[in-house]
Amino acid sequence: MDRLLIIGGGDVAWRALPWLRQRFRVFVLVRQTADAARWRIGGAIPLRGDLDQPKTLQRLRGLANALLWTAPPEDSGPGDRRIRRAFAQLAQGLALPQRIVYISTSGVYGDCAGAVVTETRPPAPLSPRGERRLGSETRLRRIAGRGGCALRILRAPGIYATDRLPLERLQRRDPVLLPAEDVFTNHIHADDLARAACLALFRGGALRTYNVCDNTHLPMGDFYDALADIFDLPRPPRASRAECAQHLSPMSLSFMRESRRLDNTRIRRELRWEPCYADVRDGLRAARRDLPRQG
């Protein structure tokens, strides 16, 4: 059985684990003992290591035939030193993983003024986190090109699920933009993203990028209105961009500077993937139904 290494043992990778276990012997890099126990119960083999401490990564050498990378870059600095450190060890094995799936962000596109965005659009990130993600993509392309590896990059927008919803923002009564100033946002349910990552291990071009999103194109304010209605909360107040700047965090404001409508034609055609929650409102309703079972 082929061996798969997960780097970035978070929510999306955990959702993918049952499918992956049927096809791979799964290893996962973890930092904490508690995380190791959880993954072991789930059927994976945990490896203690820290991407920020190179000496802990030696066990990665020659470990896996395939790699699912969901870990983010560091919060500061140029490029992606975590990828560099990990591949410095992976490259010392008999061979690099021949299949690599990397979950990136649609933030690499920057502001597109509401245009429909395909994968052929040149990246132009506005935020530092978007720049770091683009740097990660670039480094992985070089590694895959030199090593003859198949690399599939999944550019994901806002990820949501029952336990990944901005309900506190509604409860705080944080404002959203007036309709005349609003921006388009994009979304993907965590389960749909996990399934896309699984399929990308087996399907797609050798060096290929995919937008992984549902079929909905909603202004941000309309998304929050739908969220409020489904969860029986008051709709957020509307405000001008200048007024929002007085009440919101720099992180929240950064999302209001970017407007785009992602096109998912390529991933649906090439990976034969269809989102279970094609309309984000259906995904939110499903999340609402699951809420009483949480905890």
pLDDT tens digits for range 46-96: 999 999 999 999 999 989 999 999 999 988 776 688 999 999 998 886 678
In a domain, 119, yes or no: yes
Most confident of 248-257, 261-270, 285-294: 261-270
pLDDT at 175 over 90: yes
Average pLDDT in the 164-171 region? 95
Contact 186, 217 (CB under 8 A): yes
pLDDT at 295 over 80: no
pLDDT of residue 95: 73
- Using DSSP bridges, classify how beta strands 150-156 and 176-177 pair: parallel, antiparallel or unpaired: unpaired
pLDDT of residue 62: 86
In a domain, 178, yes or no: no
In a domain, 251, yes or no: no
For 182, the 3-state DSSP assignment is coil
In a domain, 16, yes or no: yes
Least confident of 79-88, 140-149, 156-165, 277-286: 79-88
Please give the share of the chain, as a percent, with pLDDT higher than 70: 97
d(CA 285, CA 295): 18
In a domain, 292, yes or no: no
In a domain, 239, yes or no: no
Average pLDDT in the 116-135 region? 95
Of 290 and 106, the one with more pLDDT: 106
Contact 39, 21 (CB under 8 A): no
pLDDT of residue 294: 46
Q: What CATH number corresponds to the domain at position 197?
A: 3.40.50.720
In a domain, 97, yes or no: yes
Specify the number of domains making up the chain: 1
In a domain, 275, yes or no: yes
Q: Which domain holds residue 145?
A: 3-165+186-217+260-281
Average pLDDT in the 98-116 region? 97
pLDDT of residue 293: 52
Least confident of 17-21, 124-128, 223-227: 124-128
Average pLDDT in the 115-142 region? 95
pLDDT at 127 over 70: yes
SS3 string, 213-262, reads CCCCCEEHHHHHHHHHHHCCCCCCCEECHHHHHCCCCHHHHHHCCCCCEE
